[in-house]
Structure 1
Amino acid sequence: MQHPSEAKVAKNTAKLLALQLRNIQIVVGENERDFDNLKAYCEQKHVALLYPNDQAQSLVQQRDEYANLHAVIVLDGTWKKATKLYQLNPWLHHLPSLKFDTVDASEYTIRKSKHKYSLSTLEATAHFLNLIDSCNVDALYTLQKGMVEEQMKLMPVDVKARY
């Protein structure tokens, strides 16, 4: 689920996921009406939300339980926008929520977050695929690294110094 403001951003890692993964759908919207089809799908299938809310279960501890998901929803946007998506869509609160126990620091250095271990959408998805499906996700990280390097080349020196 992608916040509309994120869809226009050049540093959008969900776009990179769509280039690399076959079985992905990006649904852009903000409120419940925007996600009617997704909501209906979730009512019929075994779907979980990758989002560290208070009810989120540890992926490591619950790995076997979530190995047979039909889909996982990842909220794409800044933390503020992802939280807004979660709040404006109460149907998400009824899905099982998953979180990582630990993660490495983000390599997505062209965006800042006040959260110590914030991950890009690509990193969160890659980490999930690696943990649950034992997928080799090196190509995803390489793709993100290349995009970060290209974006850094375009930044003015004073802006680049902040990253």
Structure 2
Amino acid sequence: MTCPETFPHAVHKLYQYRKSISTRPFNARGAGVTRCEYCRIDIDHCICPLVKPQSANASFALLMYDDEVLKPSNTGRLIADILPDTKASLWHRTQVCEQFKSLLNDPHYQPILIFPDEYAVPEQPLMGIDELEKLGVEGKQRVRRPLFILLDATWRQARKMYRKSPYLHHIPMLSVPAQLMTREPESAVGDITDGLAGSRYHVRTAHKEQQLATAEVAARVLQLSGNQRAGDVLNLWFDVFSYRYQCGVKQPNLGDKSAVQRYQQYLQQHP
């Protein structure tokens, strides 16, 4: 197996750390599968050699619920695959991770919390989609680099994380409307959206129909902020992961059989 020079990235390292302090093995569905330590897919279907990191005029910081980083089905890892400068920290109810705290106070970054504004506390500053699109226009000319913060957890856990983290309540919050979560067609690879606004993630069951996987949200935020190529590649990489993951488990594969072909075709046509 050949891995990119950017491995191990922040999520890989956080996974190894979390595993090292576990008092017992983490047994999720498919615990009997022999998995790659990086992509967490059945070793016979490993996708690591296919990774093609991209550049963007923005960064991501994942604040991960305690056991989320241990789950093979986690998609936050895919963001770090494509954008190697992605940060990752564990969330704690009673204390703030020092690494995450330093990011919030770093003058080189403009933190932006990606979360539904219907759950915002009264004092939360809100950011509109027009402001997100403006980030794309300004691009590298911005003094502070956008740092998109994602709460990587189940939906119930994410709401808990937000409620119990006052340090998130002063950060500008961006809520992306459901109608904007549909991927735009990419002519170079055909219609990669199929006109669907719902999630294409078949590994887990969403609490609500409109809820998307962490990587799906990140891809759309990239596209809306002027990072079209990085967003497209992350979208296609997500499909590769979803299909190959299901190849290694004993359940019907609802993923896209042409995912790898479409991903590689896009990379060839957009060098």
> Per-residue deviation at 1:65?
5.6
Q: Report the equivalent of 1:78.
A: 154
Work out the CA distance in 1 between the residues paired with 2:254 and 2:236.
23
Specify whether residues 43 and 58 from structure 1 end up closer, same or farther in structure 2 by C-alpha distance, changes over 3 A only: closer
Taking structure 1 as the reference length, the TM-score comes to 0.84
Q: Report the equivalent of 2:64.
A: 2
In structure 1, which of residues 125, 139, 142 is the aligned counterpart of residue 233 of structure 2? 139
Specify whether residues 62 and 50 from structure 1 end up closer, same or farther in structure 2 by C-alpha distance, changes over 3 A only: same
Contact 1:51/1:74 (CA < 8 Å) preserved in 2?
yes
Work out the CA distance in 2 between the residues paired with 1:32 and 1:40.
17
Identity of aligned residues (%): 21
Work out the CA distance in 2 between the residues paired with 1:156 and 1:79.
25
Q: RMSD of aligned C-alpha atoms?
A: 2.5
**Is 1:62 matched up with 2:141?**
no
> Per-residue deviation at 1:13?
0.8
Structure 1, gaps ≥5 residues long: none
Structure 1 residues 124-133 or 58-67, which shifts more?
58-67
Q: Report the equivalent of 1:48.
A: 112
Work out the CA distance in 2 between the residues paired with 1:162 and 1:141.
16
Work out the CA distance in 2 between the residues paired with 1:110 and 1:151.
8
**Is 1:152 matched up with 2:251?**
no
Work out the CA distance in 2 between the residues paired with 1:82 and 1:59.
21
> Per-residue deviation at 1:59?
4.2
Amino acid at match of 2:111: V
Specify whether residues 22 and 59 from structure 1 end up closer, same or farther in structure 2 by C-alpha distance, changes over 3 A only: farther
Counting only pairs closer than 5 Å after superposition, residues 109-120 of structure 1 correspond to structure 2 as: 109-120=202-213
CA deviation map 1:7-60 (0-9, x unaligned) = 000011111111111221111223252423323432444211000133474642
Contact 1:2/1:29 (CA < 8 Å) preserved in 2?
yes
**Is 1:107 matched up with 2:200?**
yes
Taking structure 2 as the reference length, the TM-score comes to 0.53
Q: Report the equivalent of 2:38.
A: none
Work out the CA distance in 2 between the residues paired with 1:90 and 1:65.
28
Q: Which has the higher contact order (CA 8 A, sep 6+)?
A: 1
Amino acid at match of 1:126: A
Work out the CA distance in 1 between the residues paired with 2:209 and 2:148.
23
> Per-residue deviation at 1:145?
1.2
> Per-residue deviation at 1:5?
1.2
Structure 1 residues 67-76 or 126-135, which shifts more?
67-76
Q: Which has the higher helix share?
A: 1
Contact 1:58/1:100 (CA < 8 Å) preserved in 2?
no
Work out the CA distance in 2 between the residues paired with 1:131 and 1:99.
12
Specify whether residues 91 and 32 from structure 1 end up closer, same or farther in structure 2 by C-alpha distance, changes over 3 A only: farther
CA deviation map 1:83-131 (0-9, x unaligned) = 1211221111111110112223111121111222111111111111110
